[in-house]
Each structure stands twice: as structure tokens, then as C-alpha cells.
């Protein structure tokens, strides 16, 4: 565990293991310890880097709004300040799937592979209207909620509820002390609301980036999709179809993991680790693999 300064903001980062470089980036509002089950399986084979985006986990807060290019550059900056300059397999969960793909497009020489874990997908993103007004309203809501003590009172409970909803296989695996430390602060609430408010902007930016900056030729890409049995058959197949289309658009391979909820790293960490370890040797385009636990 270490703390590094990037752009005037203190970032919390953790490096484990040894071997080829791998970066794990969690979804909206999540933090470093959400990857613990995956790191336990990867650290014997990879140098695994995790970090908290500003305001999340143990990182300091910034008033700057998140942007797609900014998050891709943040990944590069974290590796730079840690002295890790080798090409990395970048793993992005949910919203961070946008960030991981943008990193590979903006820093092609630094990308060894791409693993998108139940990634966000926006086929036809549209720019938001009245962005400044929406951002101001988001900031005002965060300020009022923080002044009322909502993060301290309800933050850990909201986190536990979100984890239960996002899993098929159980509840919150992290200790109460860790959850309280990361989720009872106003900086977490402000950061999570900012990421949510700029989600559409980042989707639009990624669509533009796909048109102007191709992925490196031959870059191995794995899309790991959660097969959630709690969904209706229609919603289940619709989500898998969208993930399949994402894999095809990126000339990658689709892996389907189940039973699992959106928090695949908690429900099926072995499938996430296996996807990372085998992304360097992806099967041909169009191949689909399924893994099912008991």
C-alpha cells in the first residue's frame, strides 16, 4: 500500500505479486479491496496494480469532473509514478471498462491486453443537454447530503445493499472496518455522484475515440460477461447479446461466467483471474466460452 501524488491529488495504490504487469480498475464508486479475491489468484503470476480514483477508497478528493481521457491518463500516470513502465494487461469492470479501452487506444504501446469485466455498454450514446446545470445540481446535492451526515450514517449500509444486489453468491466479503473507512466519507459520496453524472459524457467520448484511435493491431481482448440467473430470460439474453456485440466490435473473445451477478470479481474471481492469465492467447474471433460454477 502506498500513496502517490498525481495532478495535485493524493492517490492510494496497492501493488502485489511479481511477473507481467496487470492493472485492475473497479466500477463506479468502488475501491481497491473489491479486487481482493482476484488478486489472491493472480499475484503468483502477475504484478498486480490497484488504485483508487479521486475521492474513492483512500484517495484524496478533487473538484475536477471525471473525463474519459483523464481516467485513461490516470492509469498511465499511476504506472509512471510507481516506476512500472512495461506493457500492462488492463482490466476494467463496469464503468472502468470505458477507461481500460480508452487507455489501450490512447497508449497503444503500453497495452499488452484488455479484459472487460461485465463492462458498461452504450451502443448509441448521446451528449447530455445542459451539462453545466446538471453538474451544478449534482454538486449541490452532494454538499447537502454531506452536510446532513448522510455518508457517515448511511454510506456503509448503501454499500452493503449494493453488493448484495450485485452478487448471486452472497453478501459483503470485506470487513466492516474497511467498508466504514472507505464509504462513510463525504469525498466518496461526491466522487460517486460525479462519476454517475459524467457517465453519458464518457460514453460519448469513447464512441468518438473509437472512430479516431484504433486499438493496437493484434491486441488480445477478452469480454467477460456475467450470466445472472436472477434476471428474466429476456433480460439475461439481451445483456449477453450486448456483451457479445462488444466483443465482436473489438475483435475480441467473449467469455460467459455464471452463475454470477454484476460484481463478477466477488462471485467468480477464478473466472476473472483465468481471463487475465489467458488473454495473451485469445482464441479466434467469434469463439465463445462458458464457465459455470456449482
Q: Is a pLDDT exceeding 80 seen at residue 10?
A: yes
Supply the pLDDT for residue 287.
59
- Distance (Å, whole) CA 3 – CA 9: 10
* pLDDT attached to residue 283: 42
Cα(99)–Cα(73) distance, integer angstroms:
9
What is each CA distance from 86 to 43, 45, 108, 109, 232, in whole angstroms? 17, 15, 12, 9, 43
Place of cell 445540481: 137
Closest by CA to 104, choosing from 189, 24, 201, 220, is 220
Q: Give me the pLDDT at residue 292, please.
A: 60
pLDDT in tens, 143-185: 999 999 999 999 999 999 999 999 998 899 999 999 999 999 9
Could you tell me where the DSSP H helices lie in the chain? 36-42, 68-81, 96-106, 131-147, 150-166, 176-183, 186-197, 199-212, 233-249, 264-267, 269-278
Whether residue 289 has pLDDT greater than 90: no
The rounded distance, in Å, linking the Cα atoms of 12 and 52 is 6
Summarize the confidence of residues 61-86 as an average pLDDT: 96
Q: Please give the pLDDT value at position 87.
A: 97
Amino acid at each position: 500500500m502506498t500513496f502517490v501524488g498525481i495532478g495535485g491529488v493524493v492517490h492510494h495504490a496497492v501493488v502485489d505479486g511479481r511477473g507481467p504487469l496487470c492493472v485492475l480498475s473497479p466500477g463506479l464508486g468502488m475501491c481497491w479491496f473489491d479486487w481482493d479475491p482476484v488478486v489472491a489468484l493472480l499475484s503468483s503470476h502477475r504484478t498486480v496494480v490497484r488504485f483508487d480514483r479521486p475521492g474513492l477508497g483512500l484517495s484524496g478528493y478533487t473538484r475536477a469532473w471525471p473525463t474519459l481521457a483523464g481516467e485513461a491518463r490516470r492509469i498511465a500516470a499511476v504506472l509512471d509514478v510507481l516506476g512500472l513502465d512495461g506493457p500492462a494487461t488492463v482490466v476494467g469492470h463496469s464503468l472502468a471498462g470505458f477507461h481500460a479501452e480508452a487507455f489501450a487506444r490512447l497508449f497503444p504501446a503500453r497495452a499488452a491486453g484488455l479484459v472487460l469485466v461485465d463492462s458498461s455498454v452504450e451502443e448509441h450514446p448521446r451528449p447530455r443537454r445542459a451539462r453545466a446545470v446538471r453538474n451544478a445540481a449534482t454538486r449541490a446535492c452532494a454538499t447537502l447530503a454531506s452536510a446532513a451526515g448522510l455518508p457517515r450514517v448511511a454510506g456503509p449500509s448503501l454499500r452493503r445493499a449494493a453488493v448484495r444486489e450485485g452478487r448471486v453468491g452472497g453478501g459483503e466479503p470485506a470487513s466492516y472496518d474497511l467498508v466504514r473507512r472507505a464509504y462513510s466519507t463525504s469525498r466518496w459520496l461526491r466522487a460517486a455522484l460525479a462519476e454517475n453524472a459524467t457517465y453519458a459524457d464518457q460514453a460519448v467520448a469513447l464512441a468518438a475515440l473509437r472512430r479516431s484511435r484504433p486499438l493496437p493491431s493484434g491486441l488480445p481482448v477478452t469480454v467477460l460477461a456475467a450470466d445472472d440467473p436472477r434476471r428474466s430470460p429476456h433480460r439475461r439474453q439481451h445483456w449477453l447479446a450486448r456483451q457479445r456485440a462488444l466483443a465482436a466490435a473489438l475483435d475480441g473473445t467473449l467469455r460467459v461466467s455464471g452463475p454470477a451477478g454484476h460484481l463478477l470479481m466477488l462471485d467468480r474471481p477464478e473466472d476473472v483471474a483465468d481471463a487475465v492469465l489467458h488473454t495473451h492467447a485469445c482464441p479466434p474471433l467469434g469463439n465463445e466460452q462458458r464457465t459455470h460454477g456449482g
